[in-house]
Amino acid sequence: MKARTRARCLIAAMAASASVQVAYGADEARTNFFDDPFFQMSSGLAGCPAPLGPLYTQAEVRSQMHARLERGTSCWLEGRCKDSNAYRYDKTIAPQVRKALDGVSGVRRGSVWVMVQRRWIYLQGCVPDRRTRERLEKSARAVPDVENVVNDLMIGTRDKPGYPLASP
């Protein structure tokens, strides 16, 4: 019970600090403040819009701190994770996902990016066909410790992507 109380106190403290609002200009630099794994698997489909990835302004970092702390510890509090922070799995999951996806037929004909956050895999970009899209998702789901896969892969390059873009 002490661990839960400690986690709740930490969450409350983070919420208090995240409530401070600071105005920033539109040109503010974005960084991968949380050091989330993000990499491109392939670049075979020209014209595919590149995702923004895990890049945040300082204001976005402040607003996300509480939610990330809560999501990271809820896995452990609910008994779904051995580690007290689900984000700590990401750096070991990322190379396994890269290896798994690299073996998928058709991945080189697409333009595919991968982001890993709290045991969730985000597949973003464009693939040539539905089969490749489905195979990539299935391969990502099969990696140990992966909790969920968000498949934002488009077939071709004509649709509007369901992910934030690197340059709008």
Instruction: Give per-residue pLDDT as tens, 7-57.
Output: 444 344 444 333 333 333 456 899 999 999 999 999 999 999 999 999 999
What per-residue confidence (pLDDT) applies to 80? 87
Q: From residue 65, give the alpha-carbon distance in Å to each of 13, 74, 89, 120, 167.
A: 10, 14, 18, 17, 24
- Phi and psi, residue 101, nearest 5°: -70, -30
Nearest to 14 by CA among 87, 76, 63: 63
Contact (CB, 8 A) for 121 and 140: yes
The DSSP H or E segment spanning 131 is helix 130-141
Rounded to whole angstroms, how far apart are CA atoms 112 and 120?
Answer: 16
Q: What is the pLDDT of residue 157?
A: 93
Residue 134 reports pLDDT greater than 80: yes
Structure pTM? Answer: 0.82
Per-residue pLDDT at 2: 54
Domains in the chain: boundaries: 2-155
Q: Which two tokens stand for residue 141?
A: 């789901």
